[in-house]
Chains A and B, each alone.
Chain A
Amino acid sequence: MSSPSATPTKDDILCAAWSEDALTPPSRRRRTDDASTSDLQPMPTSPVTDMRSPAVQDTSLFSSPAPFSHLSDTIDMSSPLTYGTPSSRVEGTPRSGLRGTPVRQRPDLGSVRKARQVDLHSDHANGPEAPASEHSVGQKLVIWGTDVNVGTCKEKFQRFLQRFIDPSSTDDENAGLDLNEPLYMQKLEEINVVGDPVLNVNCEHLQSFDADLYRQLIAYPQEVIPTFDMAVNELFFERFPDSVIEHQIQVRPYNALKTRNMRNLNPEDIDQLITISGMVIRTSQLIPEMQEAFFRCQVCAFSTRVEVDRGRIAEPAVCRNCNTTHSMALIHNRSIFSDKQMIKLQESPEDMPAGQTPHTTVVYAHNDLVDKVQPGDRVNITGIYRAVPIRLNPRQSNVKSVYKTHIDAIHFRKTHEKRLHGLDEEAEEKLFTEERVRTLRELAAKPDVYERLSSALAPSIYEHEDIKKGILLQLFGGTRKDFSQTGRGGFRAEINILLCGDPGTSKSQLLQYVYNLVPRGQYTSGKGSSAVGLTAYVMKDPETRQLVLQTGALVLSDNGICCIDEFDKMSDSTRSVLHEVMEQQTLSIAKAGIICQLNARTSVLAAANPVESQWNPKKTTIENIQLPHTLLSRFDLIFLMLDPQDEAYDRRLAHHLVSLYYQSEEQLEEEFLDMAMLKDYVAYARSYIEPRLSEEASQALIKAYVDMRKIGSGRGMVSAYPRQLESLIRLAEAHAKVRFSDKVETIDVEEAKRLHREALKQSATDPRTGFVDISILTTGMSATARKRKEELAQALKRLIQSKGKVPTMKYQQLFDDLRAQSDVAITKDMFEEALQALTDEDYLTVTGKTVRLL
């Protein structure tokens, strides 16, 4: 392999290699200048032609011998400084310094290891996009097919590493670093300490520092990244000559500025550096891929190594030592393999146009990136987009006219992974254009923004203004407070709402609307869902025998809204899991050996129907919907959706409905804010606005709470509990968010009070007395009802005592006596309640139809 003009068979091998080269798609090759490189056309020509080319010179920048570089016009891109081709890995030398540290191959960059350099000044003008600066430096050599000059590129990158400072950085990758010092030099120091030889470079930084270098990186990653590798290793070992790291540092760029949707990929992106986002749907088993084949002659035991080039091994046909033909045999366990994994990426559901199916892309992960991601992960992948022609038959040169595309991953970044620092909402922060932010801010500045937004919510549902306002506040949520340092844990920021009312009052429609509006909404029906479906369950993966935690609706709607229809139809066991979720915002699982606590910071929007087919206004809320009061007290707002039954309302309703049926869509659109705007508004407020209580607001809240307590105390009832105060605070915060205000002010408290009162008025009014009685919701019974129950029990006791010393009584007889004695109608239920109360006092027992005194 030392001389290009060796035996004819040798030539054939080279030819094969070159025609392989020809199989990269044309968009890549188009950029070559026809005139100058016509001689270099990688046609099946003899290598001698290459040697004759005047444009090609020995451009090896380094004086050290390159024993395996058989074409003198190439530099080995994979080994910085060409000191160590893989076969020169010498055992036993001190493992430090540039020479001692082995090179790890980069299959992610493809195996173009030999990049020819071309003199730009030979006889042609360089490519139109080549910058003038190249000339001023005096460097004329560029890597063939590109405008990249290795020396300049290296220098520029080193300058970038040494000088780049980003004081305003909020990137969590840089947490813990001094923002006023060169960022990447600190990272190199980190590598020296930690020993993880990977340098992640944010492309955004590179772009702001040197736009031209950035352009080159995007356009020619295959050539530029190895150059970066060289640069960084030189720099690193200059600074830390004694550092021992596993292999030489690899540069991994990420966040190539245009983070793209999979749908926007097009042929122009082939062989470029791209970043796309998506969801991992499948990962393959580990595939060992041969990097370097080891051959041994069966006659003379002479051994040689052949590098794999684009999946092909040029098998030596002749032993160079003994000249025996076809004597070289592949020795598998001395060949070098690298890890490879196929990953299927599907575009995120949010990015998809309606009515189309999602696209998928194949991603190959190499070496340490294998098994970095799991199915279901949302990731941003930076890598090189590849297109490979499909051969119809490996023995023919015919190709199918279609290319296979894939991405060689260079960098993964999980988008929904909990980052080390800061709240994880940042990760899902939606990016807004400045223009959009301006329109949103303008909207927020309007005095009636609250009314506007609430009327934009579900316009097809008529009126129910307060309910819509409540739901609007739920969409925004309160401010998250963390008291975990003081041991109190976090306070719930989410607002829970229950809607109850007659069937057919468009409750379900409202739920559907909310579910469609929020990005992480879940919709379940109490009838169909089990506790398992709501929480999480453990499943054994049939292939790997691994236990996998499958999450249910509540966990999936973390940071979103979980809409539960037919709340009353839910089984008790299902409902019981909601207790923890609705107050602690976590979900504990202890199943099949998996014990964990998952975050379920979800707001619950539930709808319940009355137990009887119609809402009975003579009964309390609890009696009407038959839900445990422990659960009800966890709802911040409970609304009744009832038919108001008044003429003016009827007329407006009729008008609304009729117009719904004949106005065209466009006409209606004009009247309201569109759904997309509302979505953005909510998303913006949720991620950027964190209102805090102002002094006046705190005072107002205290006053409101004290007032609420006072109302009840006059009649011996408790009308407010600390939970109500917390609700008020959340509502006030949410209202401040609606206004894009960083401070909760008195007006927010006023609205919170009003809404809370409205909801209470509807749901906690004692139908017997007409007063608002919070104990209906907190204990399930109004204070007056409780009082009456006690009175009846006492009356019954007196009745029994008046009968003298009889050990047993007939049940029916006693009931009739009590009825005769009482001046109010006594139902059988009431009688039994009284009996029960006396039983609890251990005064009597009831067995069948007889009552026995104790």
Chain B
Amino acid sequence: STQFYKWLNHLMSLHVQTKPSNCSPDWETKVLEYFKEKLKDNEAASWVPSLNDVPVHYLKANSLVKFRCFIQDMFDPEFYMGVYETVDPSSKSKVLRSGKYKDVAECGHQVDLNTKNAVTLERQTFYCVPIPGESPWVKEISFSYSCSNPARVVPSTSYAPCRHKRSYEEDEDMETQPHKQKEQLAGPQGTTDIHGSGDPKRLETEAPSSLSNAASGCSSPLDLNFPLPGEKGPACLVKVYEEWELFKVNDILEVYDCFSTSLVDPMDCTESVEEQRVHCPPASLVPRLHMLYAHRLQHNNPLLPPAASEGQSSSGFLNDVVSVRGELLGYLTHVLLGDALAAEYLILHLISTVYARRDVLPLGKFTLNLSGCPHNSTYTEQLYRVIQQLIPSSFRLGMSLHNMNNLRLVPRKDYTANRLLSGVLQLAPNTSLFLDETQLEQGQLDSTGVRNITALGNLISWQKVDYDFNYHQMEFPCNINVLIASEGKSLLPCDCHVRLQPQLAPPNLEQYISTIQVSLSPSLLNKFRIYLSLLRTLDYSISEEVTKAVEDDFVEMRKDDPQSISAEDLHRLLVVARLLSLSVGHTTLSRDRWMRAKHLETLRTNRTEQQKCVNGNEP
């Protein structure tokens, strides 16, 4: 209830301001425990305004907010005044204060650092951005979830367009503001205005997306360092007070923070101008958050409970997995112009994930190359839109020569500004990367282009990206599903190549696809989304008996024709069998599934063989 949120905020401010001296030492941990306990309750958590939905200038300082984000960079740890003493200049009375969850020491008092009570503590700063490539539907749904609570809906008529005058301090009725704002911004993008400085009249008349464009256009060209071009949303400096070693770059988190905007920027002459810009950007652009509690997200699908351990609710879903799969197969077959085999492989691809690594070898990845996509048409774009509708986060990279030669794919350390310049390949786990090779034309790749292609190759083969630290490279393992759409066989390595064989040729592709999309009911669409995210989290095993059967089968196949199946083919066959079993909700391999996997593979290879005969020169 609103009461609860109010109460939480009150507690927060208490927590921030109280002097630890008159409380027991474990008071703080107790309070944190209590917060965590409360927030586990989904109901309560939904009351906390989310920075993903609510613009920064609607939040009150020192209030509780949450933020679904991606760790883009980690700054150096900093030392701060954990506990310090202030002296009131008039009364000379000394007060102990806590420096936790704050940027600036108490103003208006003389700070005395020379007491035995003072403690210096350490904290770490993460630079966080919204999850790169998050699909619009994810934003929409998580946004509507937080709005769905009837108690919070306030008639939008009561809303007065005087935002620009609001300051953090005067906003007493703040907790009612966020959702008013939401109604304003409930566009399909769910974008948020990152500046509070827009012209109020324009705010009222223009569409939200153009608003943020305009706002970012007129602001200083501070690069917020989003991995993907065209991304929007708040970037935050998250201060972490404990266990920062547990987090890694590229993790996705949901953090519960104390929101803070110090209006003053520190004077500091030791850093270069660039570094200062990056590490201390204006708080109005990059708000500071003080982390109370965070959990790592395994996925960002709002339709599923955040952690896999809470899978009880999903077990019911597993019962009708087969029917959902059937529906999905039908849908994708339509999208792929009637090619059921390609649709089958596309499903396998969409539920694949790197589930383990054996020394350098990532297991479970399933890079798919869909060749035979028509050139010079918007088909690949349409296809991407369909996939984007199904997957929580994805990105389409047009592999045009210009892009390859100019884009920064691999993140690079900028030592002048002392930050990690993001690149397109800095993506969260389980993001789908859609490579559109139909856009590649003949021409010269320059050295950047060669490096970019190599990086893509490394990503596909080893599921790792070597970040460029100028003096050395550092390997960051990743888990990105790569789908390559191409005319002929792709120039990049891939696990599996499927030649698209359209069964029908609609005169107007665009219209055809949009008709299919429109005819899909929202509830079914949501089922698809749950299906694809859920199956990734399942465990899998192979029984002794089936292992034996697989071995026999392999030996038998090799006996007839040693060329027919190589070790690599067996690798792929095992992955296909695994994904095929999982796609129907089976967590062990059965003989039937194995035969089915073999059958699929035969169909697929026959198709490429045929193609070879037709074209003669395709490798």
A interface residue numbers (CB < 8 A to B): 22-27, 29-30, 32, 34, 41-43, 265-267, 270, 279, 281-282, 342, 344, 346, 349, 352-362, 375-376, 387, 389-394, 397-406, 458-460, 462, 504-506, 508-509, 512-513, 516, 525, 528, 643, 645, 647, 650-651, 653-655, 657-662, 664-665, 668, 675
Contact = CB atoms under 8 A, between A and B. Distances in A.
B104 A356 contact: no
Interface in B96-113: 99, 102-105, 107, 110-113
Smallest CB-CB A-B distances: 4 pairs: A26-B118, A355-B248, A654-B554, A267-B120
B113 A647 contact: no
Nearest to B416: A282
Contacts of B84: 26, 401
B450 A528 contact: yes
A32 B116 CA distance: 8
B376 interface: no
A127 to B, nearest CB: 12
B470 interface: yes
20 contacts: A22-B114, A26-B119, A267-B120, A352-B474, A355-B250, A357-B74, A358-B474, A360-B418, A397-B110, A401-B84, A404-B268, A405-B78, A406-B270, A458-B359, A525-B454, A645-B558, A654-B570, A657-B571, A661-B542, A662-B541
Interface string B113-125: 1111011111000
- A30, A352, A650: residue with the most chain B Cβ atoms closer than 10 Å: A650
A347 to B, nearest CB: 10
B461 interface: yes
Contact of B267 (A265, A353, A361, A391): A391
B24 to A, nearest CB: 22
A643 B562 contact: yes
Interface in B314-338: none
A356 B74 contact: yes
B477 interface: yes
Given A26-B81, A26-B120, A458-B359, A357 B554 contact: no
Interface string B352-366: 000010111101000
Interface string B75-92: 011111100100000000
A658 B542 contact: yes
Given A504-B567, A643-B562, A662 B360 contact: no
Contact of A30 (B103, B118, B570): B118
Contacts of A23: 113
B257 interface: no
A407 to B, nearest CB: 12
B597 to A, nearest CB: 12
Given A26-B114, A356-B245, A403-B81, 13 more contacts: A25-B120, A26-B81, A43-B112, A279-B471, A282-B415, A344-B418, A352-B474, A355-B477, A397-B110, A405-B78, A513-B360, A645-B558, A661-B574
Q: How large is the interface on B (under 10, 10 to 19, 20 to 34, 35 or more residues)?
A: 35 or more
A359 B418 CA distance: 10
Given A267-B79, A398-B105, A509 B74 contact: no
B516 interface: no
B386 interface: no
A354 B356 CA distance: 16
B194 to A, nearest CB: 24
Given A41-B114, A406-B270, A401 B554 contact: no
A25 B542 CA distance: 60
Interface SS of chain B: helix, strand, loop or mixed?
mixed
B554 A403 contact: no
A405 B120 CA distance: 12
Given A504-B566, A650-B558, A662-B541, A401 B99 contact: yes
B420 interface: yes
Contacts of A42: 114
B218 interface: no
B73 interface: yes
B559 interface: yes
Contacts of A34: 116
Contact of B469 (A349, A462, A659): A349
Interface SS of chain A: helix, strand, loop or mixed?
mixed
- B76, B470, B474: residue with the most chain A Cβ atoms closer than 10 Å: B76
A509 B120 contact: no
B540 to A, nearest CB: 7
A392 B267 contact: yes
A358 B469 contact: yes
Contact of A401 (B103, B360, B547): B103
B555 interface: yes
B356 A356 contact: no
Nearest to A352: B474
Contacts of B578: 661
B27 interface: no
Nearest to B81: A401
A829 B142 CA distance: 72
B430 to A, nearest CB: 16
B266 A392 contact: yes
Given A654-B550, A655-B551, A30 B116 contact: yes
B551 A506 contact: no
Contacts of A32: 114, 116
B359 A675 contact: yes
Given A26-B120, A392-B104, A659 B547 contact: yes
Contacts of A344: 415, 418
B249 A355 contact: yes
Contacts of B558: 645, 647, 650
A392 B264 contact: yes
